[in-house]
A = this chain, B = another copy of it.
């Protein structure tokens, strides 16, 4: 067996000191680019490996967290969430390994685990009773979830971090009441997934608290999360004998459908009828009037997820419910103290 090359070998071949070789790996900012190139050429020629792979073998950690990038259409939060996830991972000397997987296909997860290419997974876009969660749990593979899966039986098995949708919608309704609204509609999705039910609960509770009507006629459901379906749902609310003066939508896309229906009737969002969305996507800020929405604190979500995976044992049982931030714009200029007003 040939012995492995050492720092001394690299230094000799590159014609530099051992300290310089060490600096290349440990304090690269101090190294001149040409010297760097010389050392790296020697490293390459000799096959010197001071590297992550060697460290991984020693520490039994890949130092990578796997994240499956959602296929099109991606969630509107994905780009900001990914950036936050990388930042959070880097803060504890980890990186994010990105991969793809077909819907319901766990073989990519399986292969990464078998190769020990990652130490754990972060999941997002959780669905009710998410089969990925069951699969990973059965195999005792470590993971944490952005979002709850609202399991029908018992508790969610692994760490999760989520935004309190009920509380955010409760705050929005309270803000609308402070603007004088007494009749507030709710636009949900037809499929009653957990996140939707959660937000609907917030609407019901807040309306009940303020002694406002919160019966079925004020709740309409869109078939899909599209502007056209949001518009159709808004039409049903506006055609009521006693239509609401404010509409709380479960997503920005539905809320924009509401704005479209208002425009078609010569009504102005925020003046004639208040409209709010959820997620504070790019759409909310580029339309006119701007759309009041709920921003998810992606940085804090990402930090809590990574901490649950990389922190000490005390963190593995994490359930974190974070408060969303109401971003108040012209479609519903909510003045509550929790709202951050933007132009």
Task: Give residues in A with beta carbon < 8 Å to B.
Answer: 24-26, 28-29, 33-34, 36-37, 40-41, 47, 49-57, 60, 62, 64, 67, 69-74, 76, 78-80, 82-83, 86-87, 90, 95-100, 107-108, 110-111, 113-117, 135, 138-141, 227, 253, 256, 260, 282-283, 286, 288
Contacts and interface: CB of A to CB of B under 8 A. Distances in A.
A82 B70 CA distance: 10
B283 A286 contact: yes
Contacts of A95: 97-99, 117
Copies of this chain, count: 2
Contact of A99 (B37, B90, B140): B90
Contact of A90 (B34, B40, B100, B110): B100
Nearest to A76: B282
A31 to B, nearest CB: 9
Given A69-B82, A74-B80, A283-B282, A139 B98 contact: no
A97 B96 contact: yes
Contacts of A57: 49, 53-54, 57
The interface residues of chain A, by DSSP majority, are classed as: helix
B117 A52 contact: yes
Contact of A69 (B25, B28, B83): B83
B80 A79 contact: no
Contact of A62 (B53, B139, B141): B53
A140 B40 contact: yes
A319 B293 CA distance: 43
A282 B252 CA distance: 13
A288 B34 CA distance: 55
17 contacts: A25-B114, A25-B115, A33-B139, A40-B141, A51-B56, A51-B117, A52-B53, A53-B56, A53-B62, A70-B79, A74-B79, A74-B80, A86-B100, A97-B97, A227-B286, A227-B288, A282-B282
B47 A60 contact: yes
A95 B96 CA distance: 10
B86 A286 contact: no
A87 B100 contact: yes
